[in-house]
Amino acid sequence: MKLLSMNEIREDFPILNRKINGKRMVYLDSAATSQKPVQVIKAIEDYYRNYNANVHRGIYQLSVEATEAYESAHDEVASLINANPEEIIFTKGTTESLNLVAYSLGNRIRDGEILLSKMEHHSNLVPWQQLAKRNNLKLKFFDLTDDGELDLSNIDELINKNTKIVSLTHVSNVLGTINPVKEIAKIAHENNALFIADSAQGVPHIEVNVKNLDVDFLAFSGHKMLGPTGIGALYGKKEILEEMDPFMFGGDMIREVKLNESTWNTLPWKFEAGTPNISGGIGFGVAAKYIKRIGIDNIENHEKNIVKYAYDKLNEMDNVEIYGPEKRSGLISFNLKGIHAHDVSSILDESGIAIRGGHHCCMPLMEHLGIAGNARASFYIYNNEEDVDTLVKGLEEVKRIFK
């Protein structure tokens, strides 16, 4: 890290001082949810202590302050991915963002094909299965290569004039694969299809510039990028969002309501019905600001180094199977041969190490890999080589117990 040292960054995360089972806590589950810096925690507290009021409703001081903070959070999040604030809809998270697209956009699409891949998280699969059933659409899937990348060899067949939507994970939460979304979005557009990126594991870790990628939609979650839970975003190109019907109906998303019909608010509020998650939104904005202050390049580099360090260490161990390509984002999934991932995870917990074990909401990927699940260590800006060394020691202990 150039701007801030690792020690300075770790000091921003009070939870890292916790002891688990009497041991220094090693948190290696940031792909599930990241820890939160004091700046985010304080911003949420400040809202509730000092200017708690609803947004877009009152013309008194507190409500004006809350509205300004909530709206400027959209600006912060937008600028992180080079979008315009009106193109950033706050949702509950990636899952809701993808459901929003599948309903509001998908409902207009009939008789054609939706192209996904075998490495999708359930939230970029199940909403499309439902849409396909409703609207007579066919699902198709990119296969995967042996090292866990998208198999692009038949892309010309997969994306054709029947393709209506291509929706892909930007970064796999299991394999760490960084997919070439810009190149695939271009081919989708040449075939008049829309391109959607599930960037739940992208935006927190790598540079995302929606104009440069030229994606039509991009979904991500606040809680995986230092922000609170229950808040996330959907980026959508303005011209497409303007044409789409709202996802939910009620207060705040309307311009005018008569007894028998209504008109819609401007973007992005047309898609934010009801009292929003105001404190969450404010915290999300502060998280985006924090990431910009550290610099996404610095985050990317830090993770590249730490994941390489971890990969090399795990690779040196006997009876470890690692999944995914060598060039990967900041996570490693693996299995210790003959030992269930849940056992690995619960024994590591005794040493204060938090990793996730299971199918990671990617059951079709697990089926493709021929496994029930695996263990996953995922890294973020606050992890260091000491964390990896502790993990490796913990894994040796797991192997010793199961010998």
**Per CB under 6 A, which region of 193-201, 241-249, 260-268, 283-291 contacts ligand C6P?**
193-201
Q: Does 394 bind ligand C6P (CB under 6 A)?
A: no
188 Cβ contact list (under 8 Å, min separation 6) = 115, 159, 163, 166, 194, 195
Question: In the 8-state DSSP scheme, what is residue 295?
Answer: -
**Residue among 288, 273, 233, 259 nearest 56 (CA):** 273
Q: Does 231 bind ligand C6P (CB under 6 A)?
A: no
**Residue among 205, 210, 223, 233 nearest 296 (CA):** 205
For 403, counting Cβ atoms within 10 Å of its Cβ (0-12 exposed, 13-18 middle, 19+ buried), the class is exposed
Question: Position 214: which residue type?
Answer: D
**Residue among 61, 81, 85, 65 nearest 73 (CA):** 85
Question: In the 8-state DSSP scheme, what is residue 150?
Answer: B
Q: Does 91 bind ligand C6P (CB under 6 A)?
A: no
Q: Does 200 bind ligand C6P (CB under 6 A)?
A: yes
**Residue among 73, 69, 37, 76 nearest 53 (CA):** 69
Q: Does 201 bind ligand C6P (CB under 6 A)?
A: yes
Q: Which of 152, 254, 361, 372 is catalytic?
A: 361
Q: Which residue number, 222 or 268, has a Cβ lying nearer to ligand C6P?
A: 222
Residues touching ligand C6P, count (CB under 6 A) = 18
Closest distance of CB 376 from ligand C6P, Å: 7
**Per CB under 6 A, which region of 63-71, 135-143, 269-277, 354-362 contacts ligand C6P?**
354-362
For 152, counting Cβ atoms within 10 Å of its Cβ (0-12 exposed, 13-18 middle, 19+ buried), the class is middle
Q: Which residue number, 67 or 222, has a Cβ lying nearer to ligand C6P?
A: 222
Q: Which residue number, 123 or 351, has a Cβ lying nearer to ligand C6P?
A: 123
Reported in sequence order, the residue ranges of 153-253 that DSSP labels E, i.e. its strands, are: 163-169, 194-198, 217-221, 232-236
| 288 to 327: interface string for ligand C6P, x by CB under 6 A | ----------------------------------------
**Per CB under 6 A, which region of 117-125, 154-162, 188-196, 235-243 contacts ligand C6P?**
117-125
Closest distance of CB 32 from ligand C6P, Å: 3
Q: Does 169 bind ligand C6P (CB under 6 A)?
A: yes
Closest distance of CB 213 from ligand C6P, Å: 16
Q: Does 77 bind ligand C6P (CB under 6 A)?
A: no
Number of H helices, E strands in the chain: 14, 17
Placement of tokens 């870790």 in the chain? 205
Q: Which of 34, 35, 163, 173 binds ligand C6P (CB under 6 A)?
A: 173
Closest distance of CB 403 from ligand C6P, Å: 30
Q: Which of residues 10-49 bind ligand C6P (CB under 6 A)?
A: 31-32
Are the C-beta atoms of residues 253 and 45 closer than 8 Å to each other? no
Q: Does 205 bind ligand C6P (CB under 6 A)?
A: no
Report the distance separating Cα 357 and Cα 323, nearest Å.
13
Q: Which of residues 360-379 bind ligand C6P (CB under 6 A)?
A: 360-361
Closest distance of CB 329 from ligand C6P, Å: 11
Rounded to 5 degrees, what angle do the CA atoms 224, 226, 228 make?
80
Closest distance of CB 399 from ligand C6P, Å: 24
Q: Does 93 bind ligand C6P (CB under 6 A)?
A: yes
Report the distance separating Cα 312 and Cα 82, nearest Å.
35
Q: Which residue number, 6 or 32, has a Cβ lying nearer to ligand C6P?
A: 32
3-state secondary structure of 166: strand
- Token pair of 144, please? 């995967």
Question: In the 8-state DSSP scheme, what is residue 1?
Answer: -
Q: Does 198 bind ligand C6P (CB under 6 A)?
A: yes
Tell me the pairing of strands 113-117 and 163-169.
parallel
Active site residue 362: no
Placement of tokens 């701007």 in the chain? 3
Closest distance of CB 222 from ligand C6P, Å: 8
Q: Would you name the residues annotated as active-site residues?
A: 361
Binding site for ligand C6P (CB under 6 A): 31-32, 93-95, 121, 123-124, 169, 173, 198, 200-201, 221, 232, 356, 360-361
